[in-house]
Amino acid sequence: MFWHLVAACAALTVFLLGLRVMRDGLAAMADGSLRHWLLRLARTPSRGIVTGIVATALIQSSAAVTAICVGLVAAGSMPFRHALGIVLGANVGSTVTPQMLAFGLWGLALPALLIGALVAILGPSRLRPAGLALAGLGGMLVGLDALSHSLAPLSQTPAFAGWLAHASHNVWWAAAAGCLASAAIQSSTATTLITMTLCDQHIIPTMAGIAIVLGANVGTCATAVIAAIGQPRAAMQVALGHVILNVLGVLAVLPWLPLYASWVDLLGGDAARHIANAHTLFNVLSTLAVWPITTPYARFIERLWPDQRRT
């Protein structure tokens, strides 16, 4: 058991490193212009949502996009209400990677890792960020595959089996576990991908997996909250708007999780696809629910956490 646990930790490290490398490569491909485009395009709630979706899909980190918005609001470069639209869109953009990997790209893992590494090391400077992103994707796939194999024997142990049984019968506990995991590694995408892999290998039940990814949406807010600490109150409004949106969404869905899971079942697919679809559907519905009332929602956040500079 000890060596399986060591192997699982090593595989998780490889996965997280791959995710970080991929994000760094994608961010470098943006050529430092992300802040400029966020400021230029997010002039209305609808445009802000679209901007948030595209920006997060490009750099694969809703936490990073939200943290950038916190910084822009703190500096006085962007009004809180413009940033709120980007945050709403960022939640949807974070679903791109899980949906992409749910198609089963495992055969591309080693080729992507090797080709990406060669391009990043030996290729022309303009192509090196793309090489980093490709190598990171390959590393993620290798890490996820190794993680599933190393955890499979652990799932047969009495302690692990007891934990799984508890998680499958207590979705609130599973959601809390997803929240903590996402906050610890600062990535709901990483938590979702790991959960997809474990569900696909039948190591954890699908119902518990859905609860975990719902909770992960709350945990990823930790990055924005940390970034807003010590900043002007307008910056904290961005973080608070993100937290309340995801918390209310989870509280609305969890009591009806079996019904929600049945809706996801209608979309078809294997266990990994179910988790990816549950993640996507939750974020799309949450964003659509707030989109028509973005301005009143912004007023609510401003009253809840008023900016003293305006009083």
Least confident of 121-130, 143-152, 167-176: 143-152
Q: What is the mean pLDDT of residues 103-117?
A: 78
More confident residue, 110 or 118: 118
CA distances from 105 to 44, 96, 138, 144, 220 (A): 37, 14, 9, 11, 25
Res 310 pLDDT > 60 = no
Coil/strand/helix, residue 270: coil
**Which one, of 199, 198, 175, 201, lies nearest residue 188 by Cα?**
175
pLDDT band at 311 (very low <50, low <70, confident <90, very high): very low
The tokens for 146 are: 């190794």
Determine the pLDDT at residue 282: 94
Q: How far apart are CA 33 and CA 29, in angstroms?
A: 9
Distances (CA, A) of 253 to 167, 280, 308: 17, 14, 35
Of the candidates 118, 117, 110, which has an alpha carbon nearest to the alpha carbon of residue 138? 110
Structure pTM? 0.80
Mean pLDDT, residues 185-206: 83
The pLDDT assigned to 194 comes to 85
